[in-house]
Amino acid sequence: MIDTMGFIIPISREAYHFLVSKSLMTQRVDCVDGSVEFEYYNFELSHSWNYRVRWKLDDKRFIHDPGINRTVVASGYPHLKIEFSAPKIMLGNNIRTIDENMADVVVHTVKIKFEKTFQIKLPRVSDWFLNRLDVCSNYELSNADMVKDIINYLQRLDYPRKKKEFYENESIYCPSRHATLKVYAKGPEFKKHDMKRFKNEVESRNLFNDANRIIRAEAELKTRLRYVAAEYLNLLGMKSKLKIRTWNGYLKYYKMIGLIDCRGELERMIANLMICKETKSMKANDVHDKLRKNFSDEQADVFMGMYTIILTRGIKASRKKFSKEKMKRALRAYRSLKISFINSDVSVIDSGINIPHDFTFKMDDSNPYYQIPLREAA
């Protein structure tokens, strides 16, 4: 359910200078005039199965200057920044997801490792600011070909008002201001980023085989966290609002994690991608019956014809065939009636796509494809 977590950790000036003496400095220098474009201090710590976590050290942050009514960069705010994969800290890989109630165990594991390495006390976890949270769900299929078939099929569909980027038949990437949705085949991603960390070849190969059967949906929440925080603060009275400390719009960890509905955030984004909420497979006759119950026979036949063309030819071909207004009305009708595009008995032309008839992105223990997150430490 959760994967990458990011934190900003305020520290004392003394701790900052001590850690600077233990760190590496990374710079970007213009070779023409020798000017330093940026620099930062950093260090890496190794966790389970050689998973390395990078910490960054800085004393600058954005603040609002009331004199000029603008956001400016100011010095004198020493802090650490860290991002890590929660399942990789706990399990060494993220082929298995972990429930959000395990987050606290992982965060304290990271804190203890840092304090033992540098013999320095960090602030309490309750004083850390959560500035990134990735929520995810894994779905296990029979083989890698089936995973690729589903990705290939999803690439034909439309994500309303969002730009989509594809990488062969391995992923769909939908960036936005508030959150980014990724749906991808886990096998190629594991092979590229994690497989080399495992020295035992048998273990490495077994993990890769498991990853190859997984399709993963993942939402990266960054600006979304600030939006949720702002909504929460706006509900408070001015007196209460002034008592709550934020860092560039982010709330402290326990408050932020309590406000975010991890499952709901991912379900909302998947629902937009797949048109209807539960994304269950539907047969053509069921779709036609739904349309006839809610529209005139003539309009239902038009929407049914468009539905078939979207399934068989993809959204691009459909946009060329129908006017923009007609496409908008049809997609609105499919969403309002919870009509899914995940599968049907309409054959997809020239694709060879084979999707299980009961496949769904529903995040529920009753879904046979849904990988139930780890809910307690082994």
Each residue's pLDDT tens digit, 240-265:
766 788 999 999 999 999 999 988 88
Q: Higher confidence at residue 153 or residue 61?
A: 61
51-61 average pLDDT score: 90
pTM over 0.85: no
The rounded mean pLDDT for the chain is: 83
pLDDT band at 52 (very low <50, low <70, confident <90, very high): confident
Long-range own/partner contacts, residues 59-68 (CB < 8 A, 24 or more apart): 59/16, 61/247, 61/248, 62/248
* Beta strands 36-46 and 24-29, pairing class: antiparallel
The number of residues in the chain equals 378
* Beta strands 171-174 and 165-167, pairing class: antiparallel
Structure tokens at 330: 């049809």
What is the maximum span of the chain, computed from C-alpha positions, in angstroms? 76
